[in-house]
Amino acid sequence: MTILDKSAQLTRKDRGRHADRLFWALCVSAGFAVLVILALILITMVKQAYPAFSADFFTSSTWIPNDPDGDGPGKPVYGTLAFLYGTLVVSAIAVIVAVPVSVGIALFLTELAPRRIRTAIVTLIDLLAAVPSVVFGLWGILVVAPALGPVYTWLHDVLGGIPVLGSLFGEPRSSGRTFMTAGLILAIMIVPIITSIAREVFATVPDSDKQAAWALGATRWEMIKGAVLPHSFGGVVGAVILGLGRAMGETIAVALVIGSSVQITANLFESGYALPAIIVDQWGESTGVFTSALIGMGVVLFVITVLVNLVARFVVRRAEIRMRGAAA
């Protein structure tokens, strides 16, 4: 009788209660770690970068970190505009090149490819994502940049006379280390990201919509145009913004192939600089306020990428909700 009673005691007061609380606390604090790290990033870095934040920091494109021997303006100038410009240009090139390619691959995978080769292609795209960025950088600086030099010269000769294109495709740098090269290398690196999200988005298109298009006698392309694309527009936009965020933060490959010169020019065949690139490039030789300025650029980069990511998540989520509404 007593034994039975004991075994049926299902109150919360028995052994193991403390273990349960402890395990819960462990898990919650692990979850909190994410929030704590993000908060610490912002606080500690802003504090460290504070001495470098001045009016020049955001408005000037003059970068004289160590005033050499008094022949400069007398004191160091930390203007980051040229780097911000380079980051924007390079990521814009990357996105413009990568988006059609990724959307094409995603459509190929979801709508065209037979099941058997689908897995193989997904593996290959994953492989592309697995190649470390520094390897792309090495390949970019030693193989791609020298190979693209003559191509740029040819493009400049052909298109140089046309008004707008002429200023974009100006006199090329012979080393081939240019905005364009950096943008192209970046494009390769963000293709897997955009592809995988676009693929997920396309997979959520309700089958009934597609069947309806088939039943109306649509060709495959007409089915894609009429049923798949309108349905997934929001999601694809989100994917593109995510890719943009990744492109802006990519450091090493860009640092190697962008050519490292501080200037703002419309000429895509010129050398430039990007925010993350200058941080790793000049880190070793920096001291004092110079270091603070580099950390300040890290803060700018952090804020931009966090905002871009938040916007992307928001867009994707809204698109998802709308899709679920349509499917119901």
Residues between 226 and 265 that touch other proteins (CB under 8 A): 242, 245-246, 248-252, 255-256
* 215 touches other proteins (CB under 8 A): no
Q: Which of 202, 307, 314, 208 is nearest to 249 (CA)?
A: 307
* Segment lying near other proteins (by CB under 8 A), choices 61-69, 187-195, 263-271, 318-326: 187-195
Query: 78 in helix, strand or coil?
Result: strand
CA atoms of 79 and 11, how far apart (whole Å) = 67
Name which of residues 6 to 25 contact other proteins (CB under 8 A): 10, 16-17, 19-20, 22-24
Q: How many residues bind other proteins (CB under 8 A)?
A: 89
Q: Tell me the sheet residues that pair with 78.
A: 63
Please, which residue, 139 or 263, has the CB nearer to other proteins? 139
Please, which residue, 84 or 141, has the CB nearer to other proteins? 141
Going by the DSSP 8-state scheme, the letter that residue 260 receives in this structure is -
* 158 touches other proteins (CB under 8 A): no
CA atoms of 85 and 267, how far apart (whole Å) = 12
CA atoms of 249 and 239, how far apart (whole Å) = 16
* 45 touches other proteins (CB under 8 A): yes
* 198 touches other proteins (CB under 8 A): no
Please, which residue, 147 or 266, has the CB nearer to other proteins? 147
Both tokens of residue 284? 């070793």
Name which of residues 115 to 154 contact other proteins (CB under 8 A): 121, 123-128, 130-139, 141-143
Going by the DSSP 8-state scheme, the letter that residue 77 receives in this structure is E
CB atoms within 10 A of CB 31: 10
Please, which residue, 160 or 290, has the CB nearer to other proteins? 290
CA atoms of 183 and 50, how far apart (whole Å) = 31
Burial zone of 132 (CB within 10 Å; 0-12 exposed, 13-18 middle, 19+ buried): exposed
> Which residue in 1, 3, 4, 35 binds other proteins (CB under 8 A)?
35
Which residues 6+ apart lie within 8 Å of 130 measured at CB?
none
Burial zone of 145 (CB within 10 Å; 0-12 exposed, 13-18 middle, 19+ buried): buried
> Which residue in 222, 233, 324, 326 binds other proteins (CB under 8 A)?
222
Q: Are 287 and 51 contacting, i.e. CB atoms less than 8 angstroms apart?
A: no
Name which of residues 281 to 300 contact other proteins (CB under 8 A): 283, 294-295, 298
Q: Which of 248, 236, 317 is nearest to 90 (CA)?
A: 248
Name which of residues 303 to 322 contact other proteins (CB under 8 A): 305-306, 308-310, 313
Please, which residue, 22 or 158, has the CB nearer to other proteins? 22
CB of 111 to other proteins, least distance (A): 8
Name which of residues 71 to 100 contact other proteins (CB under 8 A): 100
Please, which residue, 121 or 166, has the CB nearer to other proteins? 121
* Segment lying near other proteins (by CB under 8 A), choices 69-77, 159-167, 274-282, 320-328: 274-282
To which residue do tokens 């955001």 refer? Answer: 58
Please, which residue, 121 or 289, has the CB nearer to other proteins? 121
Please, which residue, 38 or 326, has the CB nearer to other proteins? 38
CB of 183 to other proteins, least distance (A): 13
